[in-house]
Structure formats: structure tokens, C-alpha cells
Amino acid sequence: MSTALKITLGILGALVLLAVILIFSAVSTYNGIVSLQQGTDAQWAQVQNVYQRRADLVPNLVNTVAGAANFEKSTLTAVTDARASVGRVQLPSGTAPTDPAQLAAFEQAQGQLGGALSRLLVVSENYPALRATEGFRDLQAQLEGTENRIAVERGRFNDAVQAYDTQIKTFPANVIAGIFGFTARPYFSATPGSEAPPKVQFDFGTKSP
């Protein structure tokens, strides 16, 4: 075998080996991106579950509180309206949002419901008889537990999104992401003013002088 042929075969072998390595690397990178993307979808499902749990508690809470004499109608209306607004937010089915505006609308609606529920619980402090009932105490405990789970699941979702977004923006994964149409996903953000306690205005049917 001539030296030139040996060199040619060596070069071809090296190119084939390089091609195999690149293919395996691309497949591994693609699978890694898919795994991280599915992780964000799975964590998004958990976020929706805890938010749905809170929404499911609202009717029972409202019915329980509505039985208290002279309880503020405006507070109850704010809760029921906020819950209804959550249901009107349109989100993709089965996957985490990719549109920041969609997630922002969802977050805003959930924030309004959370604020309305916080005001309801603050107002309930003025009704010892209501707070003494076992049904109200149970609902309050469930709601507080759910709010804690919401905070936990939102944090986990942001962690999952961070891992996914970092991956698709890092070379060479960004090349694979661009070829197959993987796009960044938005985070939950802190709601402006969420660190401030809710303002409560009592309206027991009397006007201030």
C-alpha cells in the first residue's frame, strides 16, 4: 500500500471518527435539552396544582365567612372576582409558558387573588366568633399551608427554568437549540409591593364624619 493511500485512509478514518463524535455529542446535547425542558414542564404542573388547590379552597372559605353577621361584602366580592379573573387567563396546555406576557398575566391574576385572600384573613380578625369556628380554622390552616407550597413550587420552577435557559444559551447547546427551535422560558418574578402588608379598609355600613 502506498504512503499516499495510507495517508488518505488515515484522514478519512479521522474524519469518520470526528463525525461520529460530533453526532453523539449532538444527540447527547439534544437529549439533555429535552430533559431540562421536560423538567420545566413537570415543575410547571406542580405550580398549577398548588394554585388550583388554593382556588378550590376559595368557595368553601367564602361560604364560611359569608355566614358571619355583617362581614364585609366588599372583601368577599374582591375574593370571588379575583378567583374568576384567574380562570380567564389563557395558558398553553401541558407545557410551561414560553411567552413572558402570558406568565406575567397569570402571575398578576394569582397575585390579586392572593392579596384578596390576605385581606379577608386580616378582616376576619375583627370577628372572634367566626375565628372560633372549627370550619374556619381548618380552612385557614389549609390556605396558609397552600400559600407556603406555592412559594416553594414557584422557587423550584424558577430553578428548573434557570437550568434550562442556561443550557440553551451555552455553546454548543445553543447551536442545537437554534436548529430545533428550543426557546428560553420566563421566570416568576417578585410582585412589586408584595413585601408590604395588605391595606385593610373596614366598611361596616357607617360613614366616617
- CATH tag, 3-180: 1.20.1440.20
**b/e code 130-168 from CB counts within 10 Å (16+ = b):** beeeeebeebbebbeebeebbeebbeebbebbeebbebb
Answer whether the bond into residue 172 is a cis peptide, omega within 30°: yes
Q: Compute the distance between CA of residue 39 and CA of residue 35 in angstroms, rounded to an integer.
A: 6
pLDDT given for residue 18 in this prediction: 85
Report whether 60 contacts 139 (CB < 8 A).
Answer: yes
pLDDT given for residue 72 in this prediction: 87
Q: Give the CA radius of gyration of the chain.
A: 27
In the predicted model, residues of the chain with pLDDT beneath 50 are 192-209
Domain boundaries, the chain: 3-180
Length of the chain in terms of residues written: 209
What does the pLDDT look like over 69-87, one tens digit per residue?
788 889 999 999 999 999 9
pLDDT given for residue 201 in this prediction: 40
Where in 31-143 does DSSP place strands (E)? none
